[in-house]
């Protein structure tokens, strides 16, 4: 389909991480040129959460943390210092580099099998150089509000460099701001009281940076996801004792670390009873110095001022984003699109698959079904997945099938050869994705051995080189 002018002439992208960069490139490559495409990134550089500058700001989560509208507790009044990466000092990915890549943009030769955070950041920096020059990337630009007024999106932006606040107007919006900002810490008996009596002792993986800050402490980790396993392994070098509490067996890997004690789900915290916790099976552990929740994040859109109330409210408790068609378009108003909302996915290739669709829909080359039809499809999806957080789960092979379905939509409309291209999930790439978990599990066993040697020699944790 050929169109002479785009459906949405002016487009704003919020977020300069992997998703935002993919959207910027896709919109820039669209053959039907937009009047203006602006990307707003609140930090001083692109990269999103991969742009790590250390944890220099004293920040703590609210405890419990169950409200997507309540953010961090800071000991600074400087807004620019409040936006830090949830990455930590010694971090490598859980995904092999060959699977992480954008379309026709491989990692450099010599990249680690599981890239370090710095290798990923450099990769994103290089990818950003492939974005067409007519896309305006605006760093140090914090979006304060996003409001739909008389059919136009008003974006209020604060420039951190000049401290100036401006209003800018757009026809289409791409939200690519991620979902790693508001930590989720559940309500559990005694937890709030504990935090009030020893502020800072209850924290979240978002604020973790390195193990030596917990030297000689008894540390309790809540959750055995990828971050729970990684952080507990690093802590086992410096901490006096490390406990990992979980409800179920880890879906990442079944790792035995004799320096880590696995316990059941915590049902009670009692600071006054020798800083003790009680598990669901009645076990009691005392003398806990710090608790780190590795329990994920809530979806949060603090700047969005429209579509927050009524039956079509886009976000409520933070467990999901409501009324999204294909996990992308807000059904009541498709001029609002999201990139990389799903979980358990590979961010770069999925973002490009979604961005390719967004660019074609925003230009008008690809057409969505009617609102009635989209609502019917959404209702069917709710019936299948439920209306909670699992609605956004795309665990392998669902993630690959999803990307293939988006590509089929593009191809069936004869739009596959012009505009941005997404990675092709051929048999080789599918196999790499399929084997990633097993390869990482073997890698984790080596990392545990590496950590034990560092502990015996009294060294700080450092990444295991290949």
Structure confidence by residue, pLDDT tens digits, 333-361: 999 999 999 999 999 999 999 999 999 99
Report the topology of domain 10-182+298-425: FAD/NAD(P)-binding domain (3.50.50)
Quote the mean pLDDT of the chain.
94
CATH number for the segment(s) 185-295+443-457: 3.50.50.60
Predicted local confidence at residue 450, as pLDDT: 96
Is the dihedral angle over the CA atoms 400, 406, 408, 410 positive or is it negative? Answer: negative
Q: How confident is the model at residue 73 (pLDDT cuts 50, 70, 90)?
A: confident
Closest CA to 256 of 441, 445, 442: 445
The predicted model gives 274-287 an average pLDDT of 97
Q: Which of 387, 407, 388, 411 is nearest to 399 (CA)?
A: 407
Mean pLDDT of 308-312: 94
pLDDT at 55: 72
Asked whether residue 75 carries a pLDDT value surpassing 90, the answer given is no
Q: Which residues are bridge partners to 137 per DSSP?
A: 39
Ordered alpha helix ranges (H), 159-303: 191-197, 226-238
Average of per-residue pLDDT across 102-112? 97
Q: 375-434, pLDDT tens digit by residue?
A: 999 999 999 999 999 999 999 999 999 999 999 999 999 999 999 999 999 999 999 999
Computed over its alpha carbons, how large is the radius of gyration of the chain? 23
pTM of the full structure: 0.95
> What's residue 250's pLDDT?
61
β-sheet bridge partners, residue 466: none
* Distance, CA of 45 to CA of 42 (rounded, Å): 8
The 10s digit of each residue's pLDDT in 200-249 is: 999 999 999 999 999 999 999 999 989 999 999 999 999 999 999 998 87
**pLDDT at 59 (0 to 100):** 85
- Which structure tokens are listed for 293? 């929740």
Which run of H or E residues covers position 408? helix 398-412
For the cut 60, the answer to whether the pLDDT of residue 253 exceeds it is no
CA 434 to chain centre: 21
pLDDT at 17: 98
Written as six digits, the tokens of 38 are 């602006």
Exposure letters 2-14 (e unless 16+ CB within 10 A, then b) = eeeebbbebbbbb
The fraction of the chain above a pLDDT of 90, given in percent, is 91
The percentage of the chain sitting over the pLDDT mark of 70, rounded to a whole number, equals 97
Report CA-CA distances (Å) from 13 to 37, 375, 382, 412: 8, 25, 28, 27
Phi-psi region of 307 (alpha: psi -120 to 50; beta: other; left: phi over 0): left
Residue 53, CA distances (Å) to 82, 158, 182, 235 in order: 12, 21, 19, 21
Q: Is the pLDDT of residue 28 over 90?
A: yes
Query: Which residue ranges does the chain devote to CATH 3.50.50.60?
Result: 10-182+298-425, 185-295+443-457
Under 8 Å between Cβ of 61 and 74 = no
Residue 258: pLDDT band (50, 70, 90) is confident
368's tokens: 């969505």
């Amino acid at each position: 389909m050929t169109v002479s002018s785009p459906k949405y002439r002016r487009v704003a992208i919020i977020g300069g991480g992997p998703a935002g960069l993919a959207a910027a490139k896709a919109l820039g490559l669209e053959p039907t040129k937009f009047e203006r495409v602006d990307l707003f990134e609140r930090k001083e550089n692109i990269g999103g959460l991969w742009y790590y500058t250390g944890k220099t700001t004293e920040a703590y989560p609210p405890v419990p943390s169950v409200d997507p509208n309540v953010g961090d507790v800071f000991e600074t009044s400087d807004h620019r210092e409040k936006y830090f990466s949830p990455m930590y000092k010694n971090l490598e990915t859980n995904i092999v580099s060959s699977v992480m890549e954008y379309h026709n943009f491989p990692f450099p030769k010599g990249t680690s099998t599981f890239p370090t955070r710095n290798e990923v950041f450099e990769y994103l920096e290089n990818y950003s150089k492939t974005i067409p020059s007519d896309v305006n990337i605006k760093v140090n630009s914090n979006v304060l509000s996003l409001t739909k007024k008389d059919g136009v999106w008003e974006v209020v932006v604060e420039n951190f460099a000049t401290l100036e606040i401006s209003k800018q107007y757009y026809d289409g919006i791409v939200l690519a701001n991620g979902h790693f900002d508001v930590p989720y810490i559940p309500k559990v008996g005694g937890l709030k009281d504990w935090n009030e009596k020893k502020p800072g002792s209850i924290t979240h993986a978002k604020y973790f940076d390195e193990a030596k800050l917990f030297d000689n402490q008894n540390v309790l980790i809540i959750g055995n996801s990828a971050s729970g396993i990684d952080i507990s392994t690093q802590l086992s070098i410096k901490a006096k004792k490390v406990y990992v509490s979980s409800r179920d067996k880890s879906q990442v890997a079944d790792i035995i670390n004799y320096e880590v004690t696995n316990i059941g789900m915590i049902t009670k915290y009692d600071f006054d009873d020798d800083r003790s916790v009680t598990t669901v099976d009645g076990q009691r552990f005392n003398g806990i110095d710090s608790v780190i929740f590795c329990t994920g994040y809530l979806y949060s859109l603090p700047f969005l001022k429209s579509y927050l109330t009524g039956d079509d409210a886009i976000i409520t408790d933070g467990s999901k984003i409501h009324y999204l068609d294909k996990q992308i378009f807000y059904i009541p108003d498709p001029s609002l699109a999201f990139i990389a909302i799903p979980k358990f996915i590979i961010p770069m290739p999925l973002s490009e698959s979604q961005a390719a669709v967004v660019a074609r829909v925003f230009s008008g080359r690809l057409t969505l079904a009617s609102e009635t039809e989209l609502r019917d499809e959404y209702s069917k999806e709710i019936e299948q997945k439920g209306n909670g957080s699992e609605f956004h789960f795309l665990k392998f092979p669902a993630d690959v099938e999803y990307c293939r379905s988006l590509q089929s939509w593009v191809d069936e409309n004869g739009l596959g050869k012009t505009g941005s291209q997404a990675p092709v999930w051929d048999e080789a790439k599918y196999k790499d994705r399929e084997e990633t978990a097993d390869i990482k599990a073997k890698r984790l066993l080596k990392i545990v051995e590496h950590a034990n040697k560092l502990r015996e020699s009294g060294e700080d944790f450092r990444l295991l080189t290949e």
